[in-house]
Amino acid sequence: MRRLLIIGCGDVVRRVLPQLVRRWRVFALVREWDPALRALGVVQITGDLDHAASLRRLAGLAHAVLHSAPPADEEVKPGAADRRTRRLIAVLRRSSLPRRLVYISTSGVYGDCAGDRVFETRTPLPRTARAQRRVAAEDLLRRFGAASGCAISILRAPGIYAADRLPLERLRRGLPLLRAEEDIYTNHIHAEDLGRACIAALERGGVGRAYNASDDSDILMGDWFGKLADAFGLPQPPRVTRAEAEQVLPPVQLSFMRESRRLDNTRLKRELRLALKYPNVDVGIADAKRKTACSG
């Protein structure tokens, strides 16, 4: 049976583990042993991407790798590399190489596109440190693939949501949004669909290919939060000018409001043949509302 190594077994990957274990013998790098993973039949390997010596058992282990671990939260200087991905590549080189590696990156690598339609051929121009770290990781993996023959596929994911990971607290806090005339386009993907995209990329991902892992929504940030407020009976957020937002919002919130783009997902659907279960946020919000009602 084919062997799959998971690096970063977080929420998105766990949603599709039942499907993965039917197709692969699944191994996962974990910092601490998890009984829930054992119940699913996942073989756990204790280690940490921040400590190279703990990764030795990964060498020659798997036919394919699903890498979703984020880079370390550290400042990136021009030309700097993601140290976690660099350590992973170093251990993968020590023995028989995996034939395929799928990496979950971020659509933030594109930077601000002033609301333009964005295709995967667009040159990355990251503006934030977190996006710069992802570009560094992508570059490392592409070079590794070119040198080793390992087929690298990259999923560039936007805002991930699900019934249990909606930004409702932001609405409850009454944090403001930009006025309609200054609003930005946002992009979304349901966590389950992103997990399904990982499976599709493991099976059909193109060599050195990047994919915008986004749904079909074409929506402004204010409309996204407006739909959430209506669905869950919360107050509509106040609207302010950009200048006012700069004065009252924390830096992380502001960073998301400085970038506007509309991701094109044609390549995701055509090449990976992914049929989205949640093709837009309306479907996802309706599903979340239904699940919330059932659990209540």
Cα–Cα distances (Å) from 182 to 34, 136, 232, 260, in that order, read 46, 31, 25, 10
E strand or H helix at 129 = helix 129-148
CA angle, residues 74, 77, 79, in degrees to nearest 5 = 120
CATH number for the domain spanning 50: value is 3.40.50.720
289 in a domain, yes or no?
no
pLDDT, position 32: 95
269: left (phi over 0), alpha (psi -120 to 50) or beta: alpha
Go through the chain and tell me how many residues it has.
Answer: 296
Q: What is the pLDDT of residue 77?
A: 55
Residue 106: give the domain boundaries. 3-166+188-217+262-284
Task: Determine, yes or no, domain membership for 112.
Answer: yes
Structural domain includes residue 253: no
Task: Evaluate whether residue 175 is within a structural domain.
Answer: no
In a domain, 103, yes or no: yes
Pairing status of strand 188-190 against strand 159-161: parallel
Q: What is the pLDDT of residue 82?
A: 87
Judge whether 91 lies within some domain: yes
Extract the tokens encoding 72.
């370390």
Rounded Cα distance between 158 and 186, Å, is 8
CA neighbor of 141 nearest in space, from 127, 155, 128, 129: 155
10-residue stretch averages of pLDDT, the chain, 296 residues long? 96 98 97 96 97 96 96 62 92 95 98 98 94 94 97 98 97 96 98 98 97 98 98 96 92 91 98 98 97 78
β-strand pairing of 219-220 with 185-186: antiparallel
**Rounded to the nearest 5 degrees, what angle is found at the Cα of 161, between the Cα atoms of 281 and 289?**
60
Cβ-in-10-Å burial (0-12, 13-18, 19+) of 52 comes to: middle
In a domain, 181, yes or no: no
Q: Per the domain annotation, does 17 fall within a domain?
A: yes
Reference 194, options 11, 54, 37, 2; nearest CA is 11
Domain count, the chain: 1
Query: b/e string for 90-126 if b means 16 or more Cβ within 10 A?
Result: ebbeeeebbebbbbbbbbbbbbebeeeebebebebeb
89 vs 92: CA distance, rounded Å: 5
